[in-house]
Amino acid sequence: MKIRENRVLIATTNLGKLEEFKRILETPKCTFVGLDEFPQVKFPPEGQSYFENARIKARTAARQTGLVSVADDSGLEVLALGGRPGPLSARYGGPGLSDFERSAYLLSELETLGSVSRLARFVCVAALAIPDGPSFTEKGICRGVLLQEASGTKGFGYDPLFVPEGHERSFAEFSKNEKNQISHRGIALRAISAHLRKESFLS
């Protein structure tokens, strides 16, 4: 199956995530565009699993735009919180909170529990959907620990709280390229990029 349209839709409105996608997926065959160019795309309510959410977003975007589409669902899983916030990470603590406010809410929960494990992991499931064709999913995991207070000004989401295993800096203190080499999203999207590069998909 040949796809002659070389634009690939990254199904997100998060500008930080959009830039990460473009940097990791970069291939001379593709021009990457974001959802800001397709305000008509409407997604159904999200489910309770990374796989379900990523597939729904990618398939919906591909069906409504006719473009090869890539989406992801990512989350932070904290051991002491029983794996929360997980797939609800982007909405944790209630609607309308900023990244800073969600991080503060998470830290307050841990403080309430007292002296507990700070072990956590980031999980990402990325999905690629071909219009009227197959779809693929790939998973990435990055393990680490949570700081007691935010550190660093780069990145987005919970990056200022998360120190990846084997390192002493938070993700918000990494350069973009450093982070992409080891992050959950970097792992998942590099696997998706391998699908994108196949001649059977893009001419």
> Active-site positions?
73
C-beta separation of 61 from 129 below 8 A: yes
Position of tokens 């001649």? Answer: 199
**DSSP string for residues in 53-95:** HHHHHHHHHHHHH-SEEEEEEEEEEEGGGTT-EETTGGGTTST
- Which two tokens mark 152? 């660093």
Phi-psi domain of 46 (left: phi exceeds 0; alpha: psi -120 through 50; beta: other): beta
